[in-house]
């Protein structure tokens, strides 16, 4: 039972390059989320998705693009990476609905932009 | 937009001492969740509180949701080294959509 996985786990890139972070979940959860975690800021929502082909902005969406063509995948793309996007990125999923809305987090991707 | 503040940012306690972290929202919440993140790990769900004034216990952990549904607390009795980590509250807005707003977290370290 893989649950929710992220790849790569670590990534070093250069300013201006495009980077895609992958997220895959095996539970068929409706909702998926992307957060970034920075010291002093906790977890900030970048984008989320309520279902395949439905996405919406979170608190800090600028510089990021998402897609969700399949329920199980929710890739996050940095179109032109900047140093301020150096962070730990967590993907999460939830079944949704009032009784089942805890979020399950992936192991995270540590991204460094030089 | 909705903001969730959490204090303190850091807490160092001797093993066996109690620990409390507090969470305050700028708006009324439909519910609040608590997560724990071990060093180098990912957040893991602990509990959800829904009702005004609700109190829930998990062994040495006691969670409270304020009467106005704008604040919450987590209290750990007699801390152990396994309690080390960062504790986050996460509030869901009054309209109950699936987005959570996370607090900044309280990082707990234990002095053996």
User: What integer pLDDT is reported at residue B69 of this predicted model?
Assistant: 95
Q: Are strands A19-25 and B71-76 parallel, antiparallel or unpaired?
A: unpaired
Q: Which residues of chain A lie closer than 8 angstroms to B32, CB-CB? A: none
Average pLDDT over residues A79-91: 97
**Alpha-carbon distance A18 to nearest alpha carbon in chain B (angstroms):** 25
Q: Which residues of chain B lie closer than 8 angstroms to A108, CB-CB? A: 42
**Alpha-carbon distance A41 to nearest alpha carbon in chain B (angstroms):** 5
Region class of A46: left (phi > 0), else alpha (psi between -120 and 50), else beta = alpha
Question: Does pLDDT of A1 surpass 70?
Answer: no
Quick: pLDDT tens for A11-21: 999 999 999 99
Quick: pLDDT tens for A33-65: 999 999 878 899 999 999 999 999 999 999 999
Q: Which of B35, B25, B23, B18 is nearest to B87 (CA)?
A: B35
């Amino acid at each position: 039972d893989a649950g929710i996985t992220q790849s790569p786990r670590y990534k070093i890139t250069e300013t201006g390059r495009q980077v895609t972070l992958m997220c895959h979940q095996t539970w068929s959860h409706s909702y998926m989320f992307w957060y970034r975690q920075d010291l002093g800021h906790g977890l900030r929502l970048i984008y989320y998705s309520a279902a395949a082909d439905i996405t919406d902005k979170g608190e800090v969406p600028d510089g990021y693009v998402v897609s969700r063509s399949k329920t199980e995948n929710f890739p996050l793309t940095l179109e032109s990476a900047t140093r301020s996007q150096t962070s730990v990125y967590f993907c999460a999923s939830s079944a949704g609905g009032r009784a089942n809305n805890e979020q399950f987090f992936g192991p995270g991707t540590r991204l460094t932009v030089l | 937009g909705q903001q969730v503040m959490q204090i303190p940012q850091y807490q160092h306690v001797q093993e066996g001492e109690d620990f409390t972290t507090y969470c305050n929202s700028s708006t009324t919440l439909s519910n609040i969740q608590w997560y724990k993140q071990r060093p180098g790990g990912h957040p893991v769900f602990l509990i959800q509180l829904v009702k005004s004034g609700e109190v829930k216990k998990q062994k040495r952990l006691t969670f409270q949701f304020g009467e106005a549904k704008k604040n919450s607390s987590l209290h750990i009795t007699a801390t152990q080294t396994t309690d080390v980590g960062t504790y986050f509250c996460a509030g869901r807005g009054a309209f109950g959509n699936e987005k959570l707003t996370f607090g900044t977290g309280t990082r707990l370290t234990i002095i053996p």
